[in-house]
Amino acid sequence: MARQRDVDLVEVAAQANPPVARLMDFGRFKYEQSKKEREARKHQQNVQLREVRMKPKIDDHDIDFKTRTAAKLLKEGDKVKITVMFRGREITHPQIGKALIDRVVKSLEHIASIEKEATLEGRHMTVILAPDKKKLAALARAAAQQQAQGAAPGDEDDEAVAAAAAAAPVVGDSADDDDIDTGADDAEGDEDAEA
């Protein structure tokens, strides 16, 4: 019957009892299936893990700058890995790094949730934050309401913050992640050279 109609006999459900087969043009079926998959991928959001690095002796202004950078990345829908890098003898005081991470997490709790708690791995203390869709939606509604009332939106679209967010590395992109730093270095000397 398939040869008479110049179509293919395709088994659709092999596990059914009895097995189900259809008469169809198999090439066209494959094409439509791949078209559906491409369409599904188009609507899929690609979430990346971006990193913001800092050192324990960072200044208050630099903490605020890097926090704004992390907030911008979270609002774009990316996950953010906050890393505190310890150098030399700084590793003997991990509580300073933990306090720094807690400060950043507390200031970002209105748009993010903790995906992985702070852990010390070697000389790096890290925490991973994921954007909280409900909190971001509420924030967007409040901003839209403010804008409708004529109030100016926040200064988070600052050029420097945008540049730092664009420069924030994607974790796992480069082989040597230790040489990457994201904007606004803290003003500290290299005490290790004196030792």
As annotated, the residues of the chain forming the CATH 3.10.20.80 domain(s) are 2-42
Average pLDDT, consecutive stretches of 10 residues, N- to C-terminus, the chain (195 residues): 76 82 84 88 80 93 94 90 94 93 93 92 94 86 86 59 76 55 46 44
pLDDT value of position 173: 60
Which pTM was predicted?
Answer: 0.58
At CB < 8 A and 24+ separation, what contacts does 64-68 make? 65/160, 65/161, 65/164, 65/183, 65/184, 66/104, 66/164, 66/182, 66/183, 66/184, 67/104, 67/107, 67/108, 68/156, 68/158, 68/161
Residue whose structure tokens are 């708690």: 117
Where would I find the H helices in 118-168? Answer: 133-148, 159-167
As annotated, the residues of the chain forming the CATH 3.30.110.10 domain(s) are 49-173
CATH code linked to domain 49-173: 3.30.110.10
Distance between CA 60 and CA 90 in Å, rounded? 18
What letters, b where the CB count within 10 A reaches 16 and e where it falls short, cover 47-70? Answer: ebbbbbbbbbebeeebbebbbbbb
User: Would you say domain 2-42 falls under CATH 3.10.20.80?
Assistant: yes
